[in-house]
Amino acid sequence: MGQELPSTSLLVFGATGDLSRRYLLPALSEICENSDIRARLKIVGLSRREVKAEDILPAKAANLVDQFEVFQMDYSRADQYRKLKQKIKNLDTEQVIFYFAVPPEAVLPIIDNLGKAGLDGDGVKLLLEKPFGSDLASAGRIIDEANRYFKEEQIYRIDHYLAKEMAQNIAVFLGSNAVFRHVWSSEFIDFIEIVIAEKIGIEGRGNFYEQTGALRDIIQSHGLQLAALTLMEPCPHDFDFNDLPARRLAALKQLTIPEKELGESVVRAQYDGYQKEAGAPASATETFAALKLTSSDPRWTQTPVYLATGKNLDQKLTQIRVNFKKDNNSEPNTLVLRVQPREGIELDLWVKQPGYERKLQKKTLSFSYEQDFEDRLPNAYEQILVDAMRGSQSLFASSGEVLESWRIIQPVLDYWKTQGASLKKYKPGSSVERILENT
């Protein structure tokens, strides 16, 4: 794993919840199996109710039984944090990481209690799950409140898509391959399409989704971060990954949704059956959203970016499709950066078919992580946890990035609130293309 990770106490607020059991604890299990951190990692599940450690650990994380314990506490009571402080002192590790696997409304009260208890020292880090606010104003308030006690470098805002292997590879791909580095601009690229499609519906999370919707849930975070990675100034070949947040932020600052085109360039839709599934008969919450972005960066002023996301679609797919311009009699080429599934890169090339006739045929030149590397790909949660222990912020969203992302979509939220927007319907299993054709 490279540099030795410091001894760490990882304390999980909401350890009995679904997120912890399904994702966090299995990821910790894999980290301990594939690194030498086990002896220096102590995991404490913080729970409101009395529960045994073995009742929390899923089968996939059974190997954590000797280093996992439960600490019962009421998150809302200040005196409980004084007991927690003593517990942490007894753990005696070099750093303490608090992981927030709790509902968004519980985050700030917990941070406030941590700060008042003096649990905000230099060796303390916060790992926060999205959403980071519900609009630009609320995001600003959350950041200001957290900064009352914690420095920016202590706060790790999780965006799982940034930690996916292919997303990380975009910077390397553009920085280390001169053939693409030199054509990465409007001069050669016609338009860019980013799709984040999910085959599943809301899976019983009706209350959560009614408060968010596709625009807030996916586009504000994952979608705009992928756009920033694609449009940012290409890194030099031997760059420091810690430079990425500043490069992503610079790209986000240039992005806008053309306000004059809000009624035409933004699509809002909902799959049939959502209202019943969410228990909200009159809901206008979108489960599909698509929009057009433009950049004021001189390199990209002539290249629109189309971003679409939705639930209950025909496939699970996250990809960035870069469409190169057609030049005179040549055919256009397409580059696909596939983030999930089957992580890899595909480039469409035109070749001559064998035979006497001069007929062209499109063929794909491809690279696949699954086929070209024997090593197991760590999942995003593993990468996030390791980088937080390591102290690397490159795969986490800075406060500036969060605010810029909200700034970009705020005009859409305002438009929907004041002007309204027709909510289209689509059948479960529809494709992105089909939904856009029917709007």
304 burial (CB, 10 Å; 0-12 / 13-18 / 19+) is middle
Laid out side by side, the sheet with 124-128 consists of 68-72, 41-47, 8-13, 95-100, 124-128, 155-158, 396-397
Bridge pairing between strands 41-47 and 8-13: parallel
Q: Which two tokens stand for residue 128?
A: 């926060």
Residues 117, 99: Cα–Cα separation, whole Å: 17
Contact 303, 419 (CB under 8 A): no
Count Cα neighbours of 59 within 13 Å in the Cβ-side half-sphere. Answer: 0
Q: Which two tokens stand for residue 359?
A: 């007929």
Asked whether 192 and 306 are in contact (CB, 8 A), the reply is: yes
Query: Which residue of the set 160, 182, 222, 237 is catalytic?
Result: 222
Angle between helix 78-91 and 104-116 (nearest 10): 70
d(CA 15, CA 53): 10
Amino acid at 234: P
Q: Which two tokens stand for residue 33?
A: 């199996």
* Sign of the CA dihedral with 273 first, then 276, 282, and 283 last: negative
Cα 151 versus chain centre, distance: 22
Q: Please give the C-alpha separations between residue 164 and each of 153, 245, 384, in angstroms, as whole numbers.
A: 22, 15, 9
How far apart are alpha carbons 188 and 34 in whole angstroms?
43
User: In which region does residue 378 sit, left (phi positive, over 0), alpha (psi from -120 to 50) or beta (all else)?
Assistant: beta
Judge residue 19's burial from the number of C-beta atoms within 10 Å of its C-beta, 0-12 exposed, 13-18 middle, 19 or more buried.
middle
Active site residue 182: no
Active-site residues: which are they?
Answer: 222
